[in-house]
Amino acid sequence: MEEYRLLHLIGQGGMGQIYLAEDTLLERHVAVKFVAMVRPDARARQRFQVEARAIARLSHPNVVAIHRVGDLDGRPYLVTEFVRGQSLEALPKPLPWKQVLHIGSSLARGLAAAHRGGVLHRDIKPANVMLTDEGQVKLLDFGLAKLLAEAPSSDGERLESPAQPPVSPLSGAGGLVGTPLYMAPETLQGAAATRASDLYAVGAVLYELCSGVAPRQTASPSASLEEWTELEPVPLRQWVKEVEPRFEAIIARCLLREPGHRYASAEELLGALDAVLDERAPGDIPEGNPYRGLQAFDANHRTLFFGRDAERMEIVERLRSGPLVVVTGHSGVGKSSLCRAGVLPSLVEGALEDGRTYRAIRFVPGRAPVAALAAATAEALGKEEGPLTEQLWNDPQGFCRELRVGLERNTGVIVFLDQAEEFFTQAPPEEALACGEALGWMLQAATGLRVLVTVRGDFLSQFAGLPVLGDEVPRGLYLLRGLSPAGARAAIVEPARRKGVTFESEAVVEALVSSSDTSRGGLPLLQFAMAELWEARDQTLQRIPASALATIGGVGGALARHADRVMASLPPAQIVSARRVFLRLAMPEGTRARRTRAELEATVPQVGPVLEGLVRGRLLVAREERGETVYEVAHEALLHGWATLRDWLEADAGKRPLRERVEAAASEWVRLGHAPETLWSERQLAEVRHLEPADTSPLGTHFLAAARASVRRGRIRRGSLTAAVPLTLLLVLGALRLRDGWELQRKVEERLDAAKVEVEQGRRARDEAARLRTEAFARFKVRTVATSAEATERREEAERLWTQAQEAADRTEAVLSKAAQILEGALTFGTGDGRVQELLGDVLLERIQLADAFHQPAPHRELMERLRSYDPDGVREARLKRPPSLSLTTVPPDAMVELERYEDEAGRKKPVPTGVLRRAPLTSVEITDGPGSYLLTVRAPDRAVVRYPLLLVSGESVSLALWLPPQREVPEGFVYVPPGPFLFGSTAPDVLRRGLLRSTPLHEEWTGAFMIQRTEVSFGEWIRFLDSRTSQAERDRRLPRSGGAPMAIQLQRGADGAWTLTLGSGANQVSAKEGTPLRIPGRPRAQDWWRFPVMSIDQHDVDAYTAWLAETGQVPGARRCSELEWERAARGADGRSYPHGELLSPEEATIDETYQRKAFGPDEVDAHASSASPFGILNTAGNAYEWVRSTSSEDEALIRGGAWYYDAWIAFAPNRTVVEPQTRDPTVGLRVCADAPRALLP
């Protein structure tokens, strides 16, 4: 400890000794804590290091920072910041409830940051909370109680009797960790600490601060331990008459005995506390129209900005614990308005609560982002613009230092970059790089600098690629979803109410909410319609009448007029292209189609500026899907209510079949290498003579031009005579060509040599990429039991290797691409040197193999097209498509085997027969369809049908032995999954994969044999479990229940023994008794709720249910699925995005859009057979999340699969959602797995 000088002892206790020390390097005071571990062995010290490092990673104003972790002579110690102030224990109590409310908000903030980092406190009490001299609240000793418990001590205290209520920490061999007076009932009874137990302790501390006594201090001295732990606190109002009822209710909810009834997270608790603190002041209401139309809200309109309070508070909280938040989402979802009118004003008014006054630098990149950032900085900070511009170009770090000049301890700067996609749509690349680097250095600067960014989702991966800044993006990512129905209602009603204007009826409001479509970018269009409604209000009655909605033609009518204005603003040439875009995005039957940018570029020339103009005009929505930008019409109303588009569709109806014929013929022409015999005849061309060039894609236009040229050449040949060429002319030309040929051949040799150097360098980089990729995947595959902290370290090491592998692959691609350019240049000399084409073919082949190794289908497709041009004999393409062979034996023998190949069809993977339909065994059967994704289906009498998805690669020989279990050994409703490999993880850009999906890169994994339930567990099945419980207390504990968002659920047993399910609350509540269908308003029919998936059950309930199935012999070996088993069952072998392919429509699963975000709730468990997985599993996308067992960490509680309340992105097959074990959520259910019967193989 040479850099720390101990000054004197300032405290000691059960945790150990605490010294005031001097940091001799940084010349500051610190606290050094020697932790009381009795004779820790090497394992205990290692675990302490890992756990303590996780705690040390916490960086939050409300958490005492840990500077260093180590051990001295085998004794662990921590170096923390030295806090000047006093503990809450030392404060005179009771405190005014308003002061306690502020303390509670700060406590919840610090705790939320810790829980996000995977760290529990385990011993929250007044003595572990400091109030600094500056009035800031700081939590001490995070997780140290657990660290102490890792080294069992014979001196550990035991809780014998509450006669003298214990207030000292407990930690012993039994794992009881904490201070009993503040411990949750379940932890006192021996359960492991959880986030819910931390929240209980917060409630107990706040109760004591308000009342002067802890909740349990009201117990009788003679009470037993059981009575003491089950004590209901005296209502706080009996101690503090004037306490705000909502604050009292918050504390009471924290202190509920049942963990699932407390707040679901510290973030939820923080939101509730901040809602009491954040009573919106009336403020100055701007004059004029309270709705912004297509303009974003800004700070001047914050008093009229509604519907986003929860999101605003969450982003502010994220900025308290980190320097960067990147708000991303679909275009039109409201990112700019949320930041301008919600987040920034809160920050400027001191919402970070770090004692600083913040000034905001706001800029939009535009065409000159460097100048924009320099000008905004100069204006906000009173500096000269010229020197700032110079620094941005030449010294980005110097620019950051300049920002800090003059910043005092109590001042700070928030930089707000709005519409960061303009870096890539308008700005020169070098300016985007310069600004990105400067913003990145800001994040590494001193405290007092924060960066807030909005970026469209389809540009997120490009934004994350900016230097310096990009590495920080995954940690700061915030995905903004569409407004909830409640949020949309607030955005509609509240601005008018602020102006003293009401709506004539609730029906008007409901009509507007139902047509808002805010989840798909319709928020600006709703605001536009509201602005027109405001102008049509009855100014005498100060009311918006129902007739006004009809006058403007509803949302659709307002949109139609706006759409015509947008089209009129486009240059004439772009109007033609815009028409073609809309015709590609609107289906003849009046529905919206989604097209990728690549698809639109293939059919509409120079479409980029047109797309950007239509997105800016809010007529199109752009979003990121599986690494590609996808466009769609912004609102269904445009398809039906915009007369211009209807006219286009009607005029196009007759041309569509002709255009489709042309496009099909053009594709075939390209596939066959522009073979002349595939060009159309004069008669065929006559049939399409009415098509304009704008009616077909560039490829179609090229094909028709080639066909017409061919027809003309034929006429000339038939009408002309062949003329002899004079011999002398031939001789002269020959001599000239010979001389030129020597010179050209010399140039070819030079380029060949240069290309070979590049190819050799590329191959070395390729080998390095392969090595790093293999090492990274080996780390990702490690399955040893680990704590969350150990798993985090292992995952970070794997991610580091994966990043290096990708960088090596990028270098490989860059070098091989350069070699290809050199060789293509050599081909232009026309010498016919076969070596050039041979090497170029090899280079393209290696680039294709590289793209395949890193699962990059888009480069694969583009490179395959190029390869066909330089591989005329097809040798290399054949190498990629060599038929694999399959050998198969089965038990029992002579089973019937069918092999199908998955073909892509409109984003879905459809199984197509291959012609292999015969009895086993199969011996080296050549699969003539080539490599790809296949499905084996094996059947035998009295045996379970076995499905085996598999990926076959070029030329490989696969040998399989499949055992078909007797049908009687597979429980009814279950599917047997044989052992085998599959692709696990995601190909999404790293910023999305790590920040949102929490998934690994796509790689091969393996599972043994197991069984899995075909459907989710239903309410009917769960009720049979409840009926089997002999204890009323056990039955009550296992009841599904939820009283909060997004939907209340209550399952009750009546006096007659019949069960009733109730969904929702208030006016939206529906219920049905056992045997009676449930009708959810807005759905086409009543449904059998007995077959709805059970929801609002926690992990402990799940384990109790599966144990019951196993113990009663209904499902031997029943258990939660591992996440590997779940993902294999959900997507098969080929790494598809959804169970049935790459796209998920609202008709194929129960997601938020299935019932237009109105009739929320689940569907029956056997619905949506069209999205069944390759194993025949139903509803793994949407309906209800499913509890699974994490294979990464023993501490990680995990759910998979999406739900009825969330969109298709959440239902993405590789999406991993981490929750608390005690989570009871109305979107979370269960699917059961079980150990497979023992296979009997010869």
In a domain, 1242, yes or no: no
Taking 60 as the threshold, does the pLDDT of residue 801 lie above it? Answer: yes
The answer to whether residue 1160 scores a pLDDT higher than 60 is yes
Which is higher by pLDDT, 664 or 534? Answer: 534
Mark whether 110 and 258 lie in a shared domain.
yes
* Inside any domain, residue 472: yes
967: CB partners within 8 A, 6+ apart: 942, 943, 944
DSSP letter at 1183? S
pLDDT the model gives residue 222:
66
The whole-angstrom separation of Cα 487 and Cα 953 is 50
Is 302 contained in some domain?
Answer: no
Query: Residue 700 has what pLDDT?
Result: 75
Evaluate whether residue 242 is within a structural domain.
yes
From CA 952, how far away is CA 972, in angstroms rounded?
32
Note the pTM of the prediction, 2 decimals: 0.65
Q: Give the domain-ending residue among 465, 482, 499.
A: 482
Enumerate the H helices of 622-654 as residue ranges: 636-641, 643-653
Mean pLDDT of 1116-1122: 96
Residues 575-601 pLDDT 10s: 888 888 888 887 665 556 778 888 788
The DSSP result for 1012-1045, as a single string, is: EESSPPBHHHHHHHHHH---HHHHHHT--EE-ST
pLDDT tens for each residue of 1077-1092 = 999 988 989 999 999 9
Q: Is it the case that residue 908 has pLDDT exceeding 90? A: yes
Same domain? For 857 and 950 the reply is: no
Greater confidence, 132 or 922?
922
Listed residue (564, 639, 625) closest to 595, CA to CA: 625
**Could you tell me which residue, 693 or 981, shows the higher pLDDT?**
981
pLDDT score of 926: 94
pLDDT at 726 exceeding the cut of 60 = no
Residue 317 CB neighbour total at 10 angstroms: 25
Biggest CA pair distance of the chain: 126
Band (1044; pLDDT cuts 50, 70, 90): low
Return the pLDDT at 162: 35
Cα–Cα distance for residue pair 714/239, rounded to 1 Å: 102
377: domain CATH number is 3.40.50.300
User: What is the total count of domains within the chain?
Assistant: 7
| Least confidently predicted of 309-313, 415-419, 737-741, 1226-1230 | 737-741
| pLDDT at 391 exceeding the cut of 50 | yes
Distance CA 999, CA 990 (A): 9
Residue 77 lies in a domain: yes
pLDDT at 33: 82
Percent of the chain with pLDDT over 70: 86
pLDDT value, residue 997 = 84
> What per-residue confidence (pLDDT) applies to 874?
86
3-state secondary structure 924-980: EEECCCCCEEEEEEEECCCECCEEEEEEECCCCEEEEEEECCEHHHCCCCEEEECCE
Q: Can you tell me the distance from the alpha carbon of 595 to that of 603, in angstroms, rounded to the nearest whole number? A: 11
Could you tell me which residue, 312 or 153, shows the higher pLDDT?
Answer: 312
In this predicted structure, what is the pLDDT of residue 675?
Answer: 78
Instruction: Give domain status of residue 246, yes or no.
Output: yes
Percent of all residues in the chain with a pLDDT value above 90, rounded to a whole number: 35
Report whether 250 contacts 269 (CB < 8 A).
yes
Of 443, 458, 482, which one is at a domain's C-terminal end?
482
Distance (Å, whole) CA 898 – CA 913: 8
pLDDT at 529 over 70: yes
In this predicted structure, the answer to whether residue 669 has a pLDDT above a threshold of 80 is no
Contact 731, 709 (CB under 8 A): no
CB contact at 8 A, 482 and 621: no
The pLDDT, as a whole number, for residue 160 is 32
What pLDDT is recorded for position 1200? 95
Do 869 and 803 fall within a single domain?
yes
Q: Are 793 and 874 in the same domain? A: yes
Query: Could you confirm whether 1195 is annotated as catalytic?
Result: no
Whether residues 535 and 570 fall in one domain: no
Tell me the one-letter amino acid at 312. R
**β-bridge partners, 1008:** none
| Of 68, 188, 56, residue with least CA distance to 114 | 56
Question: What's the confidence (pLDDT) of residue 206?
Answer: 96
CATH value at residue 955:
2.60.40
Q: pLDDT tens digits for 153-166?
A: 333 332 233 333 44
- Per-residue pLDDT at 101 exceeds 90: yes
Between the ranges 8-22, 241-255, 279-293, 602-616, where is the mean pLDDT highest? Answer: 241-255
Residues comprising the chain, all counted: 1242
Residues at the binding site for ATP are 33
Do 812 and 677 share a domain, yes or no?
no
From CA 813, how far away is CA 938, in angstroms rounded?
42
Of the listed ranges 96-100, 135-139, 276-280, the least confidently predicted one is 276-280
pLDDT at 1064: 84
Q: Taking a C-beta distance cutoff of 8 angstroms, is the pair 562, 294 a contact?
A: yes
From the candidates 23, 41, 123, 517, give the one annotated as an active-site residue: 123
User: Where residue 230 sits, what CATH number does that domain have?
Assistant: 1.10.510.10
58 three-class SS: coil
Q: Read out DSSP for 206-229?
A: HHHHHHSS-GGGGS-TT--HHHHH
Q: Helices (DSSP H) in 499-553: which residue ranges?
A: 506-514, 523-535, 546-551
DSSP codes, 684-748: HHHHTTT--GGGS-HHHHHHHHHHHHHHHHHHHHHH--PPPPPHHHHHHHHHHHHHHHHHHHHHH
- Higher-scoring residue by pLDDT: 294, 699: 699
SS (H, E, C) 992-1007: HHHHHHCCCECEEEEE
∠ CA 628-634-640, rounded to 5°: 130
* Same domain? 99 vs 215: yes
Report the CATH number at residue 1172. Answer: 3.90.1580.10
Q: Which domain holds residue 85?
A: 4-157+166-277
**Residue 792: predicted pLDDT:** 81
986 compared with 71, residue with greater pLDDT: 986
Same domain, 799 and 813: yes
Same domain, 646 and 684: yes
What pLDDT was estimated at residue 172?
A: 38
DSSP state, residue 285? P
Question: Residue 248: pLDDT above 90?
Answer: yes
Lowest mean pLDDT among 88-102, 331-345, 450-464, 687-701: 687-701
State which of 691, 713, 735 marks the end of a domain: 713
Residue 999 lies inside a defined structural domain of this protein? no
CA nearest to 1117, candidates 1232, 1013, 1234, 1025: 1234
Q: Are 971 and 1115 in contact (CB under 8 A)?
A: yes
Quick one: 116 and 241 in the same domain? yes
Q: Please report the pLDDT score of residue 472 as a whole number.
A: 85
Q: Give the pLDDT score at 279.
A: 56
Cα-Cα-Cα-Cα torsion 624, 626, 628, 634, nearest 10 degrees, comes to: -40
pLDDT at res. 53 = 67
**CA 989 to CA 770: how far, in whole Å?**
19
Burial class (CB in 10 A: 0-12, 13-18, 19+), 1178: buried
Is the confidence at residue 730, as pLDDT, over 70? no
- Mean pLDDT score of the chain, rounded to an integer? 83
State how far the Cα of 891 lies from the Cα of 887, in Å rounded to an integer. 14
Q: Are residues 172 and 209 in the same domain?
A: yes
Q: Is residue 1241 one of the residues assigned to a domain?
A: no
Q: How much is the average pLDDT of 618-637?
A: 72
- What is the per-residue pLDDT across 781-797, written as a single tens digit (0 to 9) for each? 877 667 777 888 888 89
Select, from the ranges 146-160, 203-217, 741-755, 785-799, the one with the highest average predicted confidence (pLDDT).
Answer: 203-217
Q: Is the pLDDT of residue 620 over 90?
A: no
The answer to whether the beta carbons of residues 1171 and 1137 sit under 8 Å apart is: no
In this prediction, residue 909 has a pLDDT band, given cuts at 50, 70 and 90, of very high
Cβ count near 534 (within 10 Å) = 19
Residue 9 phi/psi, 5-degree rounding, is -70, 130
Residue 17 has pLDDT above 90, yes or no: no
Per-residue pLDDT, 256: 92
Q: Which of 965, 984, 979, 977 is nearest to 1007 (CA)?
A: 979
Whether residue 461 has pLDDT greater than 70: yes
Query: By three-state DSSP, how is residue 21 classified?
Result: strand
| pLDDT tens digits, 843-901 | 999 999 999 999 988 888 888 888 888 887 888 999 999 999 999 999 999 999 999 99
DSSP states along 65-130: PEEEEEEETTEEEEEEEPPPEEEGGGS-SSPPHHHHHHHHHHHHHHHHHHHHTT-------GGGEE
pLDDT attached to residue 1117? 96
The lowest-confidence range among 133-142, 494-503, 517-526, 863-872 is 517-526
Per the CB < 8 A criterion, the answer to whether 172 and 159 are in contact is: no
1125/1191 same-domain check: yes
As a whole number, mean pLDDT of residues 985-994 equals: 87
Q: Which amino acid is at 1033?
A: A
| pLDDT of 145 above 50 | no
Q: 789: which DSSP letter?
A: H
